[in-house]
């Protein structure tokens, strides 16, 4: 996906399908598949259910997106 025409959204991991594929639920309840590329494969290494991830989605296909980072949350 190019930078133009993509949307960045936060979502919560609800299912770990494989080491490169997860099911993510957005704040509005929409669920989609999140994947990594070979280059960004380490992003999902050690990912757990319930973690918040940042997805980059195409404006043409809202059923899948690329996981670009895992949000770090503070445990206060």
User: For residue 4, is pLDDT > 90?
Assistant: no
End-to-end Cα, the chain, rounded Å? 36
pTM of the predicted model as reported, rounded to 2 decimal places: 0.83
> What's the pLDDT score for residue 22?
96
User: For residue 57, is pLDDT > 70?
Assistant: yes
The CA–CA distances, whole Å, from 36 to 18, 47, 64, 76 equal: 11, 12, 11, 30
Domains of the chain and CATH, by start: 6-70 (2.40.50.140)
CB atoms within 10 A of CB 44: 21
pLDDT category at 75 given cuts 50, 70, 90 is: low
Q: Which tens digits make up the pLDDT trace of 33-50?
A: 999 988 888 888 888 999
Residue in 57, 60, 59 with CA at minimum distance from that of residue 68: 57
Give bridge partners of residue 35 from the DSSP assignment: 21, 66
> What's the pLDDT score for residue 65?
95
């Amino acid at each position: 996906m190019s930078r133009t025409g993509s949307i960045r959204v936060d979502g919560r991991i609800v299912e770990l399908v494989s080491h490169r594929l997860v099911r993510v639920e957005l704040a509005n309840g929409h669920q989609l598949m999140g994947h990594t590329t070979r280059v960004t494969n380490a992003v999902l290494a050690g990912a757990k259910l319930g973690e918040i991830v940042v997805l980059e989605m195409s404006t043409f296909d809202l059923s899948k997106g690329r996981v670009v980072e895992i949000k770090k949350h503070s445990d206060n």
